[in-house]
C-alpha cells in the first residue's frame, strides 16, 4: 500500500517535471562543427590555441569527456544524429558525393520533425552532406527537393555537400541562391563537364594546392572533388562563408524569437578547404587549420551575443559538438602539418577522423542551459544518436519503439541531472568496422582494412584480430587486452551483434 502511494507521488512528480520542461520548450541551438577534434579547443586542454567563446559556453555549461558522434565521418554521423538510427543499418550512407539523392527517407522520424511537432521553428544552416533531391539526384536549376524542408525543417540554408565538393553554391530552401537562369549549373561526379579548368590540368591557377584528391573543377582558386559548370553568379566565396552562415543563423534566431526554435548550425569550419576570413589569417600561428578554429570560435561568440541581446540566453539550450574527429592533412597543402606546433588535435586519444580508435568519434560535447544545467563536467558515456529521443522526452512526446530505434532517452544525463552512462555506445569507422564501448571497456571488431591511412597519416585501428582496451587505465588504446580477457571479448562481441541484428 505504502509503496503504491510512494510510486504515485513519484509518478506525479515525474509528470510534473516533464510538464514543466514541456511548457518551457527551451530553444535549442546545436552548433555542429566539422572535423573538430577532442583536443582542438582550449577548454579540453589545448594550450597552443585559445577558444574563448567556446570556453565560455563550457564554463557556464556541462562539459562531457566521453561523448561520441556515431561515426568517424560526416554523412553517417549526421544521418544518425537526425534520424536516431545508425547509418550503418542503411546502405549508401557513407561519405556522400555532392550530387547524391536525399538519404533520409521523408517518412522517417527525425530530430527536427519531432521538435516541429512540438511547435518549434526548425532551421538548418550550413553543411548538409545528406544528399538532396529524388533518386538520381536533384535538378540544380529547378526546385531542389526533397531535402531538409521535407524531413522536418521549416527553414534551410545549405552547402549541399561539403566545402570541398561541387556544387559550390548555397541552397536556400528549394533554390540555389543567386543563380542566373541563363547560366544553368551542371554537376557531374563521373566525367568533366563544361570548360572550367581543373586543378589537375591547371595547377598554376590554384591559390591553395591539393595534396591528394581534390584535383577537379576549380572554384574560387581552389580545386574540388567533382565537376561543375555554369552558375558563375551563384558560386560561394570560401573566405566569406563563416560570415554568411553565422548571419543566417542570427537572422533565423531573430525571426523565431517569439517561438520556441531549434537551429542546427552546421559549420563548415574546420573542414577543408580551410580558407578563413582575412580577419583570422595568421592569427593562430598554426596556419589555416588553426585560423579556422579561431573562426569557429568567433561564430560561437556571435551566436552567443545574439542570444544575449535578445534576452534568450536562459531560455536556450546551446550544444556544441562535432561530427567526427580530427584530421590534419585532409587533401590540401594548407600548412596544417608543418605549422602544427606540437598541438594535439585529438588530445590524449588515438587515431583520428576515419578511424575506429576513439579519436574518430569521441568529440567535444558541451551543453549549456543557464539555471537548469549545473556547470561542471560529466564523464558519462553518451552518444549523439540519443538527442532525438532525449528531446522528444524533453518536449513531452513519446516515441513508438520502431521509430528512431537506436535512440535512447538520455535527457537527464544530457542535462546533468544524472551521471548515468548509456548502456553501451557503438562507433562506426570509415571501412564499416564497428566498436562497442561499455563501462571502461572498448571492443573493436576484427576487420581487414589498412592499419594506417598514409595520405592523412591516421591510424585506423583496423586489425584482423579482435581488440579490447581498458580506457580507464589506457585512454590512448595502446595495450590490446583481448588475449587476456576472452570472456569479455565474447560478451561485448555478442552484444554488438545483437544490436547489429536488432
| Three-class SS state of 186 | strand
Binding footprint of ligand NG6, residue count (CB under 6 A): 17
Task: Work out whether 331 is an interface residue with ligand NG6 (CB under 6 A).
Answer: yes
Distances (CA, A) of 486 to 445, 463, 470, 492: 13, 17, 14, 10
User: Grid coordinates standing for 450?
Assistant: 589498412
Its sign, for the CA torsion 184, 188, 193, 198, is positive
212 Cβ contact list (under 8 Å, min separation 6): 331, 455
* Closer residue to Ca ion (CB): 83 or 154: 83
Stretch that binds ligand NG6, among 116-124, 210-218, 235-243, 373-381 (CB under 6 A): 210-218
- Check binding of 95 to ligand NG6 (CB under 6 A): yes
Place of cell 590512448: 476
The residue among 264 and 408 lying less far from ligand NG6, judged by its C-beta, is 264
Q: Taking CB within 5 to 8 Å according to partner kind, which of Ca ion, ligand NG6, none is near residue 130?
A: none
Q: Which of Ca ion, ligand NG6, none sits in contact with 212, Cβ below 5 to 8 A by type? A: ligand NG6
Position 384 contacts Ca ion (CB under 5 A): no
Site for ligand NG6 in 164-183 (CB under 6 A): 164
**Look-up of cell digits 549508401:** 92
Least spacing, CB of residue 438 vs Ca ion, in Å: 26
225 binds, among ligand NG6, Ca ion, none (CB under 5 to 8 A by kind): ligand NG6
Closest distance to Ca ion from the beta carbon of 322 (Å): 7
Footprint of Ca ion on 30-69 (CB under 5 A): 34-35
Residue 14 CB burial class (10 angstroms; 0-12, 13-18, ≥19): exposed
Work out which of 323, 334, 427, 459 binds Ca ion, going by CB under 5 A: 323
Quick one: 212 or 479, whose CB is closer to ligand NG6?
Answer: 212
Minimum distance, C-beta of residue 376 to Ca ion, in the bound complex (Å): 28
Q: Which of 171, 182, 126, 117 is nearest to 404 (CA)?
A: 117
Contact call for residue 321 and Ca ion (CB under 5 A) = no
Distance CA(403)–CA(444), nearest Å, equals 27
Q: Which of residues 25-44 bind ligand NG6 (CB under 6 A)?
A: 34-35
Bridge partners, 229 (sequence order):
186
Residue 80 or 467: the one with the smaller Cβ distance to Ca ion is 80
Residue 419 engages ligand NG6 in binding (rule: CB under 6 A): no
| Cα(72)–Cα(458) distance, integer angstroms | 12
Residues that bind Ca ion (rule: CB under 5 A) add up to a total of: 5
Cell digits of residue 214: 581534390
Q: Is the dihedral of CA 35, 302, 370, 28 positive or negative?
A: negative
Cell numbers at 81, concatenated: 544524429
The DSSP 8-state label assigned to residue 51 in this structure reads -
The one among 27, 42, 73, 378 contacting ligand NG6 by CB under 6 A: 73
Which letter does DSSP use for residue 95 in this model? S
What residues make contact with ligand NG6 under the rule CB under 6 A?
34-35, 73-74, 95, 129, 162, 164, 212-214, 225, 271-272, 324, 330-331
Amino acid at each position: 500500500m505504502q509503496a503504491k502511494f510512494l510510486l504515485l507521488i513519484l509518478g506525479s512528480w515525474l509528470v510534473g517535471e516533464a510538464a514543466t520542461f514541456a511548457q518551457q520548450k527551451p530553444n535549442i541551438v546545436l552548433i555542429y562543427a566539422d572535423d573538430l577534434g577532442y583536443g582542438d579547443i582550449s577548454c579540453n586542454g589545448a594550450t597552443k590555441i585559445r577558444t574563448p567563446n567556446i570556453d565560455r559556453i563550457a564554463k557556464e555549461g556541462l562539459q562531457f569527456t566521453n561523448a561520441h558522434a556515431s561515426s568517424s565521418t560526416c554523412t553517417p554521423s549526421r544521418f544518425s544524429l537526425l534520424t536516431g538510427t545508425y547509418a550503418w543499418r542503411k546502405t549508401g550512407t557513407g561519405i556522400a558525393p555532392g550530387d547524391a539523392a536525399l538519404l533520409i527517407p521523408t517518412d522517417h522520424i527525425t530530430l527536427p520533425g519531432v521538435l516541429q511537432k512540438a511547435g518549434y521553428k526548425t532551421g538548418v544552416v550550413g553543411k548538409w552532406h545528406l544528399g538532396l533531391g529524388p533518386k538520381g539526384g536533384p535538378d540544380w536549376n529547378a526546385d531542389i527537393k526533397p531535402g531538409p524542408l521535407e524531413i522536418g525543417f521549416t527553414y534551410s540554408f545549405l552547402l549541399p555537400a561539403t566545402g570541398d565538393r561541387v556544387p559550390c553554391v548555397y541552397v536556400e530552401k528549394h533554390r540555389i541562391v543567386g543563380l542566373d537562369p541563363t547560366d544553368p549549373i551542371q554537376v557531374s561526379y563521373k566525367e568533366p563537364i563544361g570548360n572550367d579548368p581543373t586543378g589537375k590540368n591547371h595547377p598554376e591557377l590554384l591559390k591553395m594546392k591539393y595534396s591528394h584528391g581534390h584535383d577537379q573543377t576549380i572554384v574560387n582558386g581552389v580545386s574540388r572533388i567533382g565537376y561543375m559548370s555554369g552558375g558563375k553568379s551563384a558560386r560561394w566565396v570560401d573566405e566569406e562563408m563563416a560570415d554568411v552562415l553565422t548571419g543566417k543563423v542570427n537572422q533565423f534566431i531573430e525571426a523565431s524569437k517569439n517561438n520556441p526554435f531549434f537551429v542546427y548550425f552546421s559549420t563548415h569550419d574546420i573542414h577543408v578547404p580551410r580558407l578563413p576570413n582575412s580577419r583570422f589569417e595568421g592569427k593562430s600561428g598554426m596556419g589555416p587549420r588553426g585560423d579556422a578554429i579561431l573562426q569557429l570560435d568567433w561564430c560561437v561568440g556571435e551566436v552567443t551575443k545574439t542570444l544575449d541581446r535578445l534576452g534568450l540566453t536562459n531560455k536556450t539550450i546551446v550544444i556544441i559538438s562535432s561530427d567526427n574527429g580530427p584530421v590534419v592533412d585532409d587533401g590540401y597543402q594548407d600548412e596544417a602539418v608543418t605549422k602544427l606546433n606540437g598541438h594535439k588535435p585529438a588530445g590524449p586519444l588515438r587515431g583520428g577522423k576515419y578511424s575506429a580508435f576513439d579519436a574518430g568519434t569521441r568529440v567535444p560535447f558541451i551543453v549549456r542551459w543557464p539555471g537548469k544545467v549545473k556547470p561542471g563536467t560529466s564523464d558519462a558515456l553518451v552518444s549523439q544518436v540519443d538527442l532525438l529521443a532525449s528531446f522528444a522526452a524533453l518536449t513531452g512526446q513519446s516515441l513508438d519503439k520502431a521509430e528512431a530505434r537506436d535512440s535512447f532517452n538520455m535527457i537527464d544525463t544530457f542535462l546533468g541531472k544524472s551521471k548515468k552512462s548509456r548502456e553501451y555506445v557503438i562507433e562506426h569507422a570509415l571501412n564499416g568496422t564497428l566498436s562497442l564501448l561499455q563501462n571502461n571497456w572498448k571492443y573493436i571488431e576484427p576487420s581487414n582494412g589498412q592499419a594506417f591511412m598514409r595520405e592523412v597519416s591516421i591510424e585506423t585501428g583496423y586489425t584482423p584480430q579482435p581488440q579490447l582496451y581498458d580506457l580507464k587505465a589506457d585512454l590512448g588504446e595502446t595495450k590490446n587486452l583481448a588475449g587476456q580477457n576472452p570472456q569479455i571479448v565474447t560478451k561485448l562481441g555478442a552484444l554488438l551483434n545483437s544490436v547489429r541484428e536488432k
